[in-house]
Amino acid sequence: MCTNMSDELGMGKELMSINRRNMLTASLASAAAVGLSAKDAASAQADTPAERDHTDTPLPPVSLYDYEVAAKRILSGPAWEYFNGGSADEITLRRNRQALDLLQLKPKVLVDVTSIDTSRTLLGHNMAHPIILAPTSSHLLAHPDAEVATARGAASAKAIMVASTVSNRSVEDICHVASEPVWFQLYVEDDRSAVKALIERAETAGCKALCITVDNPLAYARNREERVRAQAPMLPFPNLGITAAPGGRGRSRRHFNWKDLGWIQSFAKTPIVLKGIMNPDDADEAVRHGVAAIIVSNHGGRVLDTEPATIEVLPAVVDRVAGRIPVLFDSGIRRGTDIVKGLAYGASAVLIGRPYIYGLSVSGADGVRSVIDILRAELEGAMAMTGRTRLDDIDRSVFWKAHEYRE
């Protein structure tokens, strides 16, 4: 049975004030990269102008939030709105973070944590850690080497990279510099001959899995992007052979359905992963259609607004899948503790998106590597303090339940 998340969240009214601002306040007392000051950090995380005041001591980035603040100073206005924004009123975007913050971990002491093993095997690949780079578009907005720099950073951090259909560098260029597996993210557009050719092209380039995005059949209320669209540059999208605004949107993908998935399976040579599953019924359908894995994702709060946070639906999806295929999880991950929470609810691995883009914008490939290294170190620390020395030791018993410490 699915764990009652209201019991695990079980937080009193006073805890509902915990939100992204509070997390940033804790982690960004001061931060600096490329001239970033504590005052800048406070300004970026504050909810109101009155709260935007702090000291002005330069410090290097030591958290994913530090990289976010530094990236805001570097990126152009249209680039920042594209990467940082969500859909509509950004309720789901904020909820992704809030729901993770509200889950409380239970420490366990006097456990020998001399050796912490973060390795995992996924789709036949031995991973050094469970952190994967989610597919994101338009890396050229963040760095002149675009997805090639991202691939180099992923390789140096021993991370799988999921390359987007709408990358600014070709899938061949990305695979050429990658020493860790590359998966290819696919939007199934209505032109089926073009879809088949692109899948075969990705396989020839060396991609080890096909990650099909299923939650974004059309553009939906990206208001922050829309307000600055006239200022945004046109970018190349060599996988599609087009030049377009950030994201490369505009092509129809409304027709894609379960029957079309079967058509892709009839010729695709690599494992198929479905990204964007938020409904346990859809998860069950995916298993019955023979996919290799699914990703519980709300596109980082960039598709249907007011749907739940991914961490809120993850337990129900995992329970419905019941171990038949791996379940992965993304959206809102900023701390090693977030990874522990996702794994505790049954995820095999997690994906990050915006954070590595921020690292890319600040320091190129080195920034991507640094973001992953920070998360990995925090994961190891959280495992040690919860008494877990292997990823398989992390289960739902790591959470406090409200009735265990409240009268």
Write down the pLDDT at residue 253.
78
DSSP string, 77-135: HHHHHHHH--STT-HHHHHHHHHHHH--B----S---S--B--EEETTEEESSSEEE--
**Token pair for 215:** 């939650």
Please provide residue 20's backbone torsions phi and psi, each rounded to the nearest 5 degrees. Answer: -60, -35
Q: Residue 39: how many CB atoms within 10 A of its CB? A: 16
Write the DSSP symbol of residue 182. E
Q: What is the pTM for the complete model shown?
A: 0.86
Report, as residue numbers or ranges, the catalytic residues: 299
> Max CA-CA distance within the chain?
63
Write down the pLDDT at residue 252.
67
Write down the pLDDT at residue 219.
79
**Token pair for 136:** 């994101």
Write down the pLDDT at residue 45.
44
Contacts of 259 (CB under 8 A, 6+ apart): none
Instruction: Specify the 3-state DSSP secondary structure of 395.
Output: coil
CB 280 within 8 A of CB 75: no
Round to whole Å and give the CA distance between 289 and 199.
19
Q: Residue 32: how many CB atoms within 10 A of its CB? A: 21
Round to whole Å and give the CA distance between 113 and 85.
39
Write the DSSP symbol of residue 399. B
Write down the pLDDT at residue 406.
65
Round to whole Å and give the CA distance between 216 and 379.
31
Q: Residue 290: how many CB atoms within 10 A of its CB? A: 11
Buried b / exposed e along 202-227 (16+ C-beta atoms within 10 A): bbebbbbbbbbbbbbbeeebbebbee
The CATH T-level fold of domain 1-407 is TIM Barrel (3.20.20)
Contacts of 50 (CB under 8 A, 6+ apart): none
How many CA atoms lie less than 13 Å away from 280 in the CB half-sphere? 13
Q: Residue 72: how many CB atoms within 10 A of its CB? A: 19
CA angle 198, 204, 210 (to 5 degrees): 55
Round to whole Å and give the CA distance between 336 and 350.
11
> Could you read off the pLDDT of 76-106 as tens digits, one per residue?
999 999 999 999 999 999 999 999 999 999 9
Instruction: Specify the 3-state DSSP secondary structure of 406.
Output: coil
- Residues lower than pLDDT 50 in the chain: 1-4, 6, 8-58
CB 345 within 8 A of CB 9: no
Write down the pLDDT at residue 16.
39
